[in-house]
Amino acid sequence: MKHGFIKLGAAVPDTKIAAPRKNAAEICRLIDKAYGEGVHVLAFPELSITGYTCGDLFLSDALLDGAEEALRTVVDHTAGKKMLVFVGCPLRAGDRLYNCAVAVSDGEILGVTPKAAIPNYAEFYEARHFASGAGTEAMTVRLGRGDEIVYLPLSSDVYRCQEVPDLAVGAEICEDLWVTGSPSEKLAAEGATVIVNLSASNETVGKDAYRRTLVKAASGKDVAAYVYCDAGMGESSTDAVFSGHCLIASNGVILAENEPFGGAELTTAIVDVRHLAHDRRKMNTWKGSAGGAPSFSLTLGETDLAGVIDPRPFIPHEDADRRAVCSRILDIQAHGLAKRIRAAHAATCVIGLSGGLDSTLALIASVRAMDLLGRDRRDIHALTMPCFGTTDRTRSNAEMLAQSYGVRFSMVDIKEAVDVHFRDIGHDPENRSVVYENAQARERTQILMDIANAENGLVIGTGDLSELALGWATYNGDHMSNYGVNGGIPKTLIRYVVAFVADTDGDERTPDGKTRGEILRDILATPVSPELLPPKEGEIAQKTEDLVGPYDLHDFFLYHHVRWGETPDKMRREALAAFDGQFDAETVDKWLAVFLRRFRTQQFKRSALPDGPKVGSVALSPRGDWRMPSDADAD
């Protein structure tokens, strides 16, 4: 629960029709199970106290009296349990009967929410028995007998957790989700970050997919977590069959789902309510507040995050999703660059092709842009500019890759020019300081810019999102270009995009017989390096991740810091859970400190970025995505 992590649950009891006492015992059993698993908010199906398909038995006082007694059994059973539970129960108010979601916590009823949308179609003719709860805020339900009678108002309250202010819970019932103007929209506007739906939705062919779409869309539209709890197989076999299909979604993403007819009695997922509150603040959409709402209490503790936190948040899990993302990224890059080429009336695209990952992707994007424009690929001029740290492997891969795409290729050795520059400024070449390294980067940029001027072209930038976050670029060197096609893509994702191209467009052969796919895979296998220091025994001597840290960690920190505005202690906790067995606490602490220091101190480089396409929700453009003072305190 610390840091906003809340465990949500949907419980499907083995319902006995019109047997409230038996159902109460089953509900209490599942409450104990969920409580033992650390669930904080638990939902049961619609009318779970009696069963949904009681038909005209709902007109029987015996059933309704028994339902109230069973409800009291459930309420009493929660005493001493710091959790919020929603059970479904038919309750009388005046001369009407209402289908209600009863909020229970620690032996008390917090509130009663009546179902607003009452269906009246063939298999669910609820209007025969139940009244709509719309507009009933002034009404009360009566529970108990004699001296034990209590009156509870019908309401659509939002229940706020005392210990976790960002946890606020509202309830709606089945059909309420399926209609326009659903109660969940109003609940979210009033501050609810979690919506529970107590449902009894019969199963028909294709309905599970439609239900899934509704839940996913509702959670995204409301920027909320949504717990959908469906009646199970014990509910009926008359005219409607129920599958116990439960779903838990958060902000447009399905987090957990049981298989219809799979028999699962408890479905759980952990959500981060701070993330939901963060997005609402950023969107500035929710003007309402849940202040003054009924409250409940939870026992403070650390929710177990094992297996919950994704170590690579920029990369989709499923192969099909990854392929779709990679394809769309290439589309965005190519169309953005094509527009810039047209707007600038550029005759060429000039690229510094090092044989590394980033410049490889920039070349691929440039080729696709020229193809979109119907232009000759020789309008792309790729240059490799070897110097003190260049290895034969990267230089050879750069040349072969250019050949495989049919672009113009040139080699400009910059050693002599850099040596002359060292003499001009009085720098000893044996002094391998930042001057030694940055002089090479700036010489390369100067060559690219001058050739672009000579050819009426655009210099295509190669730097990626991860490098921008860390400031891992030479100011006015590789930091600068006319258009930065990779600036929205983190390093960990670039690997997958290049691998996707190797798999889908890798058959073309070079004159020496190598396929493009073989070249791309060798580039993928090459250590990431700026190649600014002399090689050792022909091998790359300067490996970026040895110097600045693992990109797996830095991209993880980047996502959580920029996307969610998280605190360092929360990022540390999440990283330890996500990379358990890969990075120990000392390593995480070391590189988290490096990330935070570099991210704060390197904004001046990001403030002077060239244009480039945004591809995801995390972006650092100073024009529209990340505005930060360059003199922010790094401590």
For 32, 84, 239, 335, the CA distances from 40, given in Å and listed in that order, are 12, 6, 35, 47
Structure tokens at 576: 């330890």
Catalytic annotation, pick one of 26, 46, 68, 203 = 46
- The stretches of 512-633 forming alpha helices (DSSP H) are 516-525, 544-548, 551-558, 564, 568-578, 585-601, 603-606
Catalytic residue among 54, 100, 161, 174: 174
Element at 349 (helix H, strand E): strand 348-352
Q: For residues 535 and 389, is the Cβ–Cβ distance under 8 A? A: yes
Taking the C-alpha atoms of 617, 621, 626 and 627 in order, what is their torsion angle to the nearest 10 degrees?
Answer: -160
- Residue 287 catalytic? no
Token pair recorded at residue 502: 């190797």
The verdict on whether 115 is a catalytic residue reads yes
d(Cα 599, Cα 609) in Å, to the nearest integer? 15
Using CA atoms in the order 471, 473, 476, 482, what is the torsion angle rounded to 10 degrees?
Answer: -100
115, 216, 491, 514: which is the annotated catalytic residue?
A: 115
Which residues have C-beta within 8 Å of that of residue 609, sequence separation ≥ 6? 468, 484, 487, 620, 621, 622
CA 310-316-320 angle, 5° bins: 150
**What one-character DSSP code corresponds to residue 125?**
E
Spacing of C-alpha 123 from chain mean position: 39
- Is 46 an active-site residue? yes
Distances (CA, A) of 330 to 254, 370, 408, 441, 612: 26, 13, 21, 27, 13
HEC assignment per residue over 543-564? CHHHHHCCHHHHHHHHHHHHHH
Closest-CA residue to 621 (of 477, 483, 441, 472): 483
Return the SS3 of 267.
Answer: strand
Would you name the residues annotated as active-site residues? 46, 115, 174
